[in-house]
């Protein structure tokens, strides 16, 4: 599933929080956001896609998840934060190369044929959050649990997975069917990862030794050597060159997104435009981790993940033809199901350090609703989504809003920006109010009350925006006609 990931280290953010965020770009998947209580977590899991069966521990924690409403192809929980204050997003589909897949093939389901029994496949995006998030108490533990599952069961796809806690952000990338590497994100950096094998620096000695900031499969050094995978020159170690891809399609679909995000994060430290630019939209060497020119906020992450090359000739909404309009794949794409920012904060009690910012549909047009995650349930506006189109939940309301505004972008964009700002401002005000109340009283059950107020606010602002965009779009219908009487 094609997605875009942004990871923010503790010292790179304005408030010393860590953030992991990802657009879940499916095929217009209908999504909801729920709380999974321990009693509802399966003790034996079976994947619908690969048919693999896995026994699960008997001590799960409560966690949030954004599963598909239609479960015919599985849960696809996507993202969440557990009650220990650990966030996870899974997965970013990444690229690899034929050499890797020859050396360690993907573990795919082999259906029964004749007298041959079915052979299950490995784990994949459908499964990973459910198999990992309820059982981990730190980001590092998340890497270790997922790695053990990959080594035992394998995977049928190439993926990147992020974990964060109050202090650390870790990124794991799969290599073939069973191998993997993981890196601790530098505290002062922001990682940008658009559907490619991203890691461009890795300390293999640390990964196979002290594991201070790197981890990997125990046999990775031999795996690289025995399969002639190392393409690096002059003693360098760039995993992107070893395990990743370098295709023409990357230059249309992937690298331009990294260029847009890097250009926003570090406009002064690097040159991004013109003939002598250090990096262009089709550069293969755009850094995976960037030290931003200024501290990064939640709003910055929202902007990055709703990007459509605004301010460049590639913007599909530009009102004149540049000859390059719409050339590259936007970040804020039409078929996104859910996007979340898992924010783990410092300076607040442990019970309320996890905030998840939820966004449905095309991020270009949708709002982001913050909710406290350490609660027993979430309001119906987020959690009671069905396959029936209705404005009584945020998923369908924002899908409708985006479909209308897209057709009349120039006339609707101001209303969309006002809508997004209003939800952000009012949402942050409510979070600040309830942070203070819960710190003063020690009554953390107020988080559920806060979430109700947050969703009521979001519904009010969404309904208002829908009315304004509907009015504008109606005036631009092609069958409009005015008869002026003499």
Average pLDDT over residues 243-250: 93
Instruction: Dump the DSSP string for 207-252.
Output: HTTT-SSEEE-TTHHHHHHHTT-----TT---HHHHHS---TTHHH
Confidence (pLDDT) at 234: 77
Residue 233 has pLDDT above 90, yes or no: no
Confidence of residue 484 (pLDDT cuts 50, 70, 90): low
Rounded Cα–Cα distance for residues 138 and 344 (Å): 11
Q: What is the dihedral of CA 182, 43, 344, 210, to 10 degrees?
A: -30
Q: Tell the burial category of 334 from Cβ atoms under 10 Å away from its Cβ (0-12, 13-18, 19+).
A: middle
Q: What is the dihedral of CA 189, 426, 361, 474, to 10 degrees?
A: -140
- Tell me phi and psi for residue 270, to 5 degrees: -135, 155
Q: Please give the distance of CA 237 from its chain centroid, rounded to a whole number.
A: 27
Rounded Cα–Cα distance for residues 187 and 13 (Å): 9
Residue 486 has pLDDT above 70, yes or no: no
Average pLDDT over residues 228-232: 93
Residue 485 has pLDDT above 60, yes or no: no
Confidence (pLDDT) at 481: 84
Rounded Cα–Cα distance for residues 363 and 339 (Å): 8
Give the pLDDT confidence of 69-118 residue by residue, as tens digits.
999 999 999 999 999 999 999 999 999 999 999 999 999 999 999 889 99
- Tell me phi and psi for residue 53, to 5 degrees: -115, 130
Rounded Cα–Cα distance for residues 61 and 73 (Å): 25
Average pLDDT value over all residues in the chain: 96
| Residue whose C-alpha is closest to residue 156's, from 134, 132, 127, 118 | 127
N- to C-terminal Cα separation, the chain: 59
- Tell me phi and psi for residue 360, to 5 degrees: -115, 150
From 3, 342, 359, 367, active-site residue: 3
Give the pLDDT confidence of 295-315 residue by residue, as tens digits.
999 999 999 999 999 999 999
| Residue whose C-alpha is closest to residue 161's, from 128, 134, 209 | 128
Lowest mean pLDDT among 391-400, 421-430, 440-449, 471-480: 471-480
Sequence ranges of the domains in the chain? 3-364, 389-476
Rounded Cα–Cα distance for residues 108 and 94 (Å): 17
Tokens of 408: 């009349």
Confidence (pLDDT) at 258: 98
3 is known as an active-site residue: yes
Rounded Cα–Cα distance for residues 143 and 90 (Å): 12
Q: From residue 459, how far is each of 153, 166, 332, 397 by CA, in Å?
A: 43, 30, 22, 9
Its CATH class, for the domain covering 3-364, is alpha beta
Collect all residues with Cβ–Cβ distance below 8 Å to 471 and sequence separation of at least 6.
none
Q: Tell the burial category of 107 from Cβ atoms under 10 Å away from its Cβ (0-12, 13-18, 19+).
A: buried
Residue 454 has pLDDT above 80, yes or no: yes
What's the whole-model pTM score? 0.97
Confidence (pLDDT) at 465: 98
Rounded Cα–Cα distance for residues 108 and 51 (Å): 10
Residue positions counted in the chain: 486
Rounded Cα–Cα distance for residues 149 and 259 (Å): 34
- Taking the CA of residue 98 as centre, how many other CA atoms within 13 Å lie in the half-sphere pointing to its CB? 1
Average pLDDT over residues 422-431: 98
> 204: how many CB neighbours lie within 10 A of its CB?
15
């Amino acid at each position: 599933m094609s997605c875009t990931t942004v990871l923010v280290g503790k010292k790179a953010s304005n408030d010393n929080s860590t953030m992991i965020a990802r657009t879940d770009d499916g095929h217009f998947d209908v999504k909801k956001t729920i709380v999974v209580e321990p009693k509802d977590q399966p003790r034996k899991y079976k994947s619908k896609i690969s048919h693999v069966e896995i026994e699960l521990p008997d001590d799960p924690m409560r966690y949030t998840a954004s599963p598909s409403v239609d479960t015919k192809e599985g849960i696809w929980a996507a993202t969440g934060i557990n009650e220990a204050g650990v966030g996870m997003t899974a997965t970013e589909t990444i690229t690899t190369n034929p050499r890797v897949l020859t050396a360690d093939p993907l573990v795919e389901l082999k259906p029964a044929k004749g007298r041959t029994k079915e052979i299950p496949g490995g784990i994949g995006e459908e499964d990973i959050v459910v198999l990992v998030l309820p059982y981990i108490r730190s980001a590092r533990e998340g890497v270790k649990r997922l790695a053990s599952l990959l080594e035992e069961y394998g995977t049928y796809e190439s993926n990147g997975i992020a974990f964060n806690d109050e202090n650390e952000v870790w990124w794991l990338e799969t290599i073939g069917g069973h191998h993997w590497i993981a890196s601790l994100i530098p505290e002062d950096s922001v990682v940008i990862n658009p559907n490619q094998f991203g890691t461009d620096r890795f300390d293999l000695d640390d990964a196979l030794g002290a594991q201070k900031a790197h981890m990997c499969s125990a046999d990775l050094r031999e795996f690289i050597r025995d399969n002639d995978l190392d393409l690096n020159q002059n003693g360098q170690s760039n995993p992107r060159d070893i395990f990743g891809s370098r295709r023409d399609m990357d230059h249309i679909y992937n690298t331009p997104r990294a260029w847009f995000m890097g250009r926003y994060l570090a406009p002064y430290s690097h040159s991004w435009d013109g003939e002598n630019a250090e990096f262009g939209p089709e550069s293969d060497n755009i850094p995976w981790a960037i030290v931003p020119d200024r501290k990064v906020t939640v709003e910055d992450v929202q902007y990055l993940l709703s990007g459509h090359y605004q301010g460049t000739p590639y913007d599909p909404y530009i009102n004149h033809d540049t000859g390059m309009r719409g050339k590259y794949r936007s970040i804020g794409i039409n078929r996104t199901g859910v996007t979340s920012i898992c924010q783990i904060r410092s300076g607040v009690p442990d019970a309320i350090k996890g905030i998840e910012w939820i966004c449905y549909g095309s991020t270009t047009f949708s709002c982001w609703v913050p909710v406290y995650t350490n609660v027993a349930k979430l309001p119906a506006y987020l959690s009671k989504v069905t396959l029936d189109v209705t404005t009584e939940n945020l998923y369908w309301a924002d899908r409708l809003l985006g479909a209308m505004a897209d057709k009349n972008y120039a006339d609707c964009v101001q209303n969309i920006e006002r809508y997004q700002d209003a939800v952000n401002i009012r949402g942050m005000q409510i979070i600040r109010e309830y942070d203070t109340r819960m710190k003063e009283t020690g009554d953390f059950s107020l988080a559920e009350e806060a979430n109700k107020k947050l969703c009521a606010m979001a519904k009010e602002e969404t309904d208002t925006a829908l009315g304004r965009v509907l009015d504008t779009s109606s005036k631009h219908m092609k069958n409009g006609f005015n008869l002026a009487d003499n």
